[in-house]
Chains A and B, each alone.
Chain A
Amino acid sequence: NFMLTQPRSVSASPGKTVTISCTRSSGSIANNYVHWYQQRPGSAPTAVIYEGNQRASGVPARFSGSIDSSSNSASLIISGLKTEDEADYYCQSFENRNRVFGGGTKLTVL
């Protein structure tokens, strides 16, 4: 199985744009969809981006997803940062029936 690597933490100021990367260790990132989840402290995760660049229901347009085959990575981009965006974010993909999560990135909105 492959691994997905995310930065442990990122930070940015309100109103700014932040990008969280997710790099696949083997096999092409484009082979299987990448999904993104947000988890606030004490709560279950919720989907924010699915199938690479589709926003889940109720997710604002400030959230977007992309794929970069040259770096074999996916990215979650959050623009116009708000303090409410502060949370842990996880990327996830799959191969056959196995699902794989990245280690998670803690987003701090300063």
Chain B
Amino acid sequence: EVQLVESGGGLVQPGGSLRLSCAASGFSFSSYELSWVRQAPGKGLEWISYISRGGSIESYADSVQGRFTISRDNAKNSMHLQMNSLRADDTAVYYCVRDRGTGWLDYWGQGTLVTVSS
């Protein structure tokens, strides 16, 4: 069974940093691309970052470019999102998602809540 489990969310002050992690199991981790998708309270889904199978290619939404960094460790079946210079509008549930070559996001974690507030 494919499982994606996010961790690392919590309350952080504006300007602060947070590192999210995603632990994967039930599939050949290094064979799949991955993405992060977030959802602000009461709002829609927003894709924020993508990483290729080997980790050499990254892509970011304009809203997080230059502040967030995606990475993965294929030896540990894990993915991370380093979030710096956090703002109130980064408050959201962050989902770890398995990403197919056609852009299809076929498996989603349950999400981790990040709250940016003073």
What residues of chain A have their CB less than 8 Å away from a CB belonging to chain B?
1, 32-33, 35, 37, 39, 44-47, 50-51, 56, 88, 90, 92-94, 96-104
Contacts and interface: CB of A to CB of B under 8 A. Distances in A.
Given A35-B103, A39-B45, A45-B95, 11 more contacts: A32-B103, A35-B102, A44-B95, A44-B111, A50-B104, A90-B45, A97-B50, A98-B59, A99-B103, A99-B105, A100-B47
Contacts of A46: 108
Given A97-B59, A98-B50, A99-B50, A47 B45 contact: no
Given A44-B109, A99-B35, A93 B103 contact: yes
A104 B106 contact: no
A33 B101 CA distance: 10
B45 A56 contact: no
Given A97-B57, A99-B35, A47 B105 contact: yes
Contacts of A39: 45
The 5 tightest CB contacts between A and B, nearest first, are: A94-B103, A97-B59, A99-B47, A104-B44, A50-B104
Contacts of B109: 44
B94 to A, nearest CB: 11
B103 A92 contact: yes
Contacts of B62: 1
A84 B109 CA distance: 22
A90 B44 contact: yes
